[in-house]
Chains A and B, each alone.
Chain A
């Protein structure tokens, strides 16, 4: 990479400032005479400042010493800020609203590589919240507002507002080590100072387009010199459900690295053998042309685009391999090995030239304020497992296919057709499954089934998949193994993200996908080995059967190859389509 290293700094504010400032309420200045256009513009600014102020919050650690800014994004109290603001706070923080009231807040999810944290303010379900904008529409020269609590000035939590323009879009700012990378971020000359970290960047209509968190500094110390950066809201939208899952969220890796050729083109210089990219044909020396619809003019452009995706996301890519154009969909891998992020975040976040903040660890959990203690649960890999549990329960409770209590599903008999047109039958009960075709019969008793078996041949592990599917619906998540809610990711060729529940069962991992509107379990994937494609089953044609909505068409893929489609013979009730 030939990016020039710039000096950058993060902007938590850990200064004890006792500044007696008169607070300016936003009183319109009487406009007598003057250019009506200018007066109209000024009125508009005043209106926008009124609009953006209520959702802007001041965040403090539980001792009230350090802090930053944040912004409420929903009436139930979810608020965005920087990871580097919440990192020294531990699970609990105090948040001041511009109405002067102080609320308890709990950590929900963190994205340390992207420097984003989601917190939840407690005690109200009618918090003011910001209108989310579309940061992809932001262009250089657009007017923007920065709101927040620079230098922790506002004793009454009334935010300071600064005004400027977008100085650059799609900016890339190097991480410190592997954390706090600002990819595809927005650069502004609206003043961003220590204490503004985590606060909102609004467009000229007061819509939230980014979270401020960083600035370039040099010889004048850590004060604004006209160059601040905000994480784009569209990046955060992709991460939001993952943050709500309570997890420590990782960023994505393509499983391949790209370098800049002498003529500037992005050329693949390394591909991991167990990456999806490799399985789809990406090789050393190939030219990467496009990533999720973005044309890549340089290796930097690729790095910039990639940096805004969570691990597990699926994107279309285009590349030139041996003079032929390849278009493929690839699943992105995690940037960090398992457990690596937990180790990295155990170290202090970088803060240039500042005294080491006292980290408040979860050992202090017994001292958590009661409302926070009620919704905090510690677990490795999670910022707050309590939230993950809520999502698991929500998905399974609203899933129409979930069998309540100890009732067992009926034995299922399905019929399909193989490539040669011959009939194949599939039988599935609680204990065993079998597939019968002209080639013979595959039979498995689940109690003796090795999870990583790929049977029947060509399916990628259909028997294990169906076993886990049936176990989740009949016995619930605890029976399957370790289960957690991942967030929403696109699956099976769709660009629409969908709820995903992950189950770790013995040595294999399964994803279960739930439709947002119906709650139906519309698909699952089984990963038997990182070096192999998943076995993918999509469930469709939901009809009533024994009083329950039930999929009547089961389509099975192994990677790019379609294995078979099975149909469940309808009973009398299921003839009425749902």
Chain B
């Protein structure tokens, strides 16, 4: 807990007055009281208004970013706005500076910008592990509709976490690469310019980054979703360190999730963007062999999800619930088969 947060809780206790015991300064109480004013003032300096390329309807030239280091690293969404590699970053106090794109992260569609700073800036640490549950109160900070231009603060919206679910979304023909868990919120975060904004808890702690405008793959509804801080930490560190993005091997990025090899399945070599997930061979004595999976079987479904490529399969596995048997659908000739694989945890752990 940072010192400013302690002060802020104390302030609430003071506001609550003599009738309220100190314990009453719960986060819920903080939400009810006037302390959102303080939270806003503390959060605004960590948010950046970003202006770049664009200017057409649904191709706006603005978005939002958040400071993720005291040295002036800004995390934002990778988008057309950044296309020239340079943007105008407008800080909370109206100061306009040049921001340079230093790295991008294709899976999560993130970009890391850097501005030159004379002194440390206020920033969001991504290290904190905060338990986020549905029903939790959150606040979203983003420059929706480009309302703020100079020293005007970005918009603050309130809501709750409605769900924590794997992202299955697209915009037009482009499908979201990331299929890990996101926070779905009932604050309207899916607006022009919101991408790259911050969602924080009632203590002002960073919970995640507002993603690009996307629709649900299944319902077509525009999604108000947030990329969790836990999924951002490693890519941000890698981008800060100047390391190239991890290879298109999604299991690396979603480490800890099962890979086909964990079950003894060896797939055909991934040569193309949409290499079909044919089984090349099956390890003798493996779970897959015990379940009757054979070479040349085509994997067409994992759990509820349909897969059409090796990459789809890897994403689907990444979001499968680890403690439940893995349900696969296979196409063998014209026959559709269902198999259930009980994961061998010891083996999976051994792979770490």
Is there an interface contact between A141 and B157, defined as CB atoms closer than 8 Å?
Answer: no
> In the bound complex, what is the Cα–Cα distance between A171 and B146 (angstroms)?
11
Q: Give me the interface of A with B, judged by CB distance under 8 Å.
A: 2-4, 6-7, 35, 37-38, 41, 139-143, 164-168, 170-171, 187, 189, 216, 218-220, 224-227, 264, 297-298, 300-301
Across the interface, B150 reaches (CB within 8 A) one of A171, A225, A227, A297, namely A297
B145 touches A165 (CB 8 A): no
Give bound CA distance, A166 to B145, whole Å: 16
**The one of A143, A165, A187 that contacts B147, using a Cβ cutoff of 8 Å:** A187
Q: Say yes or no: B36 contacts A219, CB within 8 Å.
A: no
B188 at the interface (CB under 8 A from A): yes
Contact between B149 and A2 (Cβ–Cβ < 8 Å)? yes
A219 to B34, CA, bound (A): 33
CB neighbours (8 Å) of A140 from chain B are 36-37, 40, 153, 156
B61 CB–A CB distance under 8 Å: yes
Partner of A41, one of B32, B40, B155, B213: B32
Q: Which chain A residues lie closer than 8 Å to B213 at the CB level?
A: 219
**Which of B39, B94, B157, B192 has the most C-beta atoms of chain A within 10 angstroms of its own C-beta?**
B157
The answer to whether A164 and B191 have CB atoms under 8 Å apart is: no
* CB contact under 8 A between A4 and B37, given known A170-B152, A171-B152, A297-B94: no
Contact present for B158 and A7 (CB under 8 Å): no
Indicate if the CB atoms of B187 and A189 lie closer than 8 Å. yes
A39 to chain B, nearest CB (A): 11
When the two chains form their complex, are residues A187 and B155 in contact, meaning their CB atoms are under 8 A apart? yes
Question: Which chain A residues lie closer than 8 Å to B60 at the CB level?
Answer: 4
Would you call A225 and B188 a contact (CB within 8 A)? yes
Q: Which residues of B contact A7 (CB under 8 A)?
A: 57, 145
Q: Which residue of A lies closest to B60 (CB)?
A: A4
Please tell me if B346 contacts chain A, counting CB pairs below 8 Å. no
- Is the Cβ of A300 less than 8 Å from the Cβ of B191? no
Interchain residue pairs A-B with the least CB separation, the first 4: A226-B188, A141-B36, A4-B146, A6-B145
Most chain B C-beta atoms within 10 Å of own C-beta, residue among A7, A167, A301: A167
Are A226 and B151 neighbours in the complex by a CB distance under 8 Å?
no
**Which B residues, 58 to 76, have Cβ-Cβ distances below 8 Å to chain A?**
58, 60-62
Question: Which residues of chain B are within 8 angstroms of A6 by Cβ–Cβ distance?
Answer: 145-147, 192
B233 close to chain A: CB less than 8 A:
no
Asked if A218 and B188 make an inter-chain contact with CB atoms under 8 angstroms apart, the answer reads no
Q: Report the Cα distance A142→B34, complex, angstroms.
A: 6
Q: Which residues of B contact A225 (CB under 8 A)?
A: 188, 190-191
B283 at the interface (CB under 8 A from A): no
Q: In chain B, what residue has the closest Cβ to A304?
A: B152
Q: Are A4 and B36 in contact (CB under 8 A)?
A: no
Question: Are A37's CB and B58's CB within 8 A?
Answer: no
Q: Smallest Cβ distance from A5 to chain B, in angstroms?
A: 8
Interface contact A189-B188, CB-CB below 8 Å: yes
Q: Is the CB of A168 within 8 A of B36?
A: no
Which residues from chain A contact B149 at a C-beta distance below 8 Å? Answer: 2-4, 300
- B1-9, B21-29, B300-308: which lies at the A interface? B21-29
B149 to chain A, nearest CB (A): 6
**Does B240 reach chain A (CB closer than 8 Å)?**
no
Complex formed: what's the CA distance from A143 to B31 in Å? 9
Task: Give the CA-CA distance A63 to B32 in the complex, in Å.
Answer: 43
Residues of B within 8 A of A4 (CB): 51, 60-62, 145-146, 149
Query: Do A165 and B158 touch across chains, with their CB atoms under 8 A apart?
Result: yes
A218 touches B191 (CB 8 A): yes
Bound Cα distance A35, B24 (Å): 9
Contacts of B62 in A (CB 8 A): 4
With A38-B28, A168-B155, A187-B155 already in contact, the answer to whether A226 and B37 are too (CB < 8 A) is: no
Q: What are 27 A-B contacts with C-beta separation under 8 Å?
A: A4-B146, A6-B145, A37-B26, A37-B29, A37-B32, A38-B32, A139-B40, A140-B153, A141-B34, A141-B35, A141-B39, A141-B40, A142-B36, A142-B37, A168-B155, A171-B147, A216-B145, A216-B191, A218-B191, A219-B213, A227-B144, A227-B188, A264-B94, A297-B150, A298-B94, A298-B151, A301-B150
Tally chain B residues at the interface, Cβ within 8 Å.
43
Is there an interface contact between A165 and B156, defined as CB atoms closer than 8 Å?
yes
Docked CA distance A166–B155 (Å): 9
List the A side residues contacting B190 at CB < 8 Å. Answer: 225
Q: Collect the chain B residues with CB atoms within 8 Å of residue A143's CB.
A: 32, 36
Bound complex: CA of A116 vs CA of B188, how far in Å? 28
A226-B188, A227-B188, A264-B96 in contact; A168/B150 too (CB < 8 A)?
no
Closest B residue to A216 using CB positions:
B145
C-alpha spacing A51/B157, complex, angstroms: 25
Most chain B CB inside 10 Å of its own CB: which residue of A4, A171, A225? A4
Bitwise, B125-160 to A at CB < 8 A (1) or not (0) is: 000000000000000000011111111110111100
- Separation of A572 and B171 alpha carbons in the complex (Å): 90
**Interchain CB contact under 8 A, A227 and B39:** no
Note all chain A residues with C-beta closer than 8 A to B152: 168, 170-171, 300
* Docked pose: A55 CA to B190 CA in angstroms: 34
**B140, chain A: closest CB distance, angstroms:** 9
The answer on a CB contact under 8 Å between A226 and B57 is: no
Bound CA–CA A58/B287 (angstroms): 68
Q: Which residue of A lies closest to B191 (CB)?
A: A225
B26 touches A35 (CB 8 A): yes
Complex Cα distance, B137 from A143, in Å, reads 14
| B38 (CB) vs chain A CBs: closest residue | A141
Q: Which B residues lie within 8 Å of A37 (CB)?
A: 20, 24, 26, 28-29, 32
| Given known contacts A4-B149, A297-B94, A167 and B155 CB-to-CB distance under 8 angstroms | yes
Asked if B147 and A216 sit within 8 Å, CB to CB, the answer is yes
Contact between A168 and B153 (Cβ–Cβ < 8 Å)? yes
CB A326 to nearest CB in B, in angstroms, measures 24
Q: Indicate which residue in B37, B57, B155, B187 contacts A139 across the interface (CB closer than 8 Å).
A: B37
Q: Which residues of B contact A189 (CB under 8 A)?
A: 155, 157-158, 187-188
CB distance from B98 to the nearest CB of A (A): 14
In the assembled complex, the Cα of A6 lies from the Cα of B36 at a distance in Å of 27
Interface centre among B29, B96, B156, B213 (most CB of A within 10 A): B156
Contacts of A300 in B (CB 8 A): 149-150, 152
For residue A173, which residue of chain B has the nearest CB? B147
Whose C-beta in chain B lies nearest to the C-beta of A220?
B222
The minimal Cβ–Cβ distance linking A302 to chain B, given in whole angstroms, is 12
Quick check: B144 and A226 within 8 Å, CB to CB?
yes
Complex contacts, B58 vs chain A, CB 8 Å: 218-219
Nearest CB in chain B: distance from A448 CB, A: 58
Measured CA separation A529–B240 after assembly (Å): 67
Chain A residues within an 8 Å CB radius of B151: 297-298
A220–B215 alpha-carbon span in the complex (Å):
11
Interchain CB contact under 8 A, A298 and B150: yes
Give the complex CA separation of A171 and B192 in angstroms: 17
B200 to chain A minimum Cβ distance, whole angstroms, is: 12
* Cα distance A220–B58 in the bound complex, in angstroms: 12
Q: How many Å lie between the Cα of A105 and that of B41 in the bound state? A: 44
- With contacts A225-B191, A227-B145 known, is A264 near B157, CB below 8 A? no
Taking the nearest CB of chain A, how far is it from the CB of B214, in angstroms? 12
Q: With contacts A140-B153, A227-B145, A297-B151 known, is A164 near B37, CB below 8 A?
A: no
CA distance A298 to B93 in the complex (A): 12
Question: Which residues of A are found within 8 Å of B38, using beta-carbon distances?
Answer: 141
Known A37-B29, A220-B222, A227-B191: A141·B150 in contact at CB below 8 Å:
no
How far is it, in angstroms, between the C-alpha of A71 and the C-alpha of B119 when the chains are bound?
50
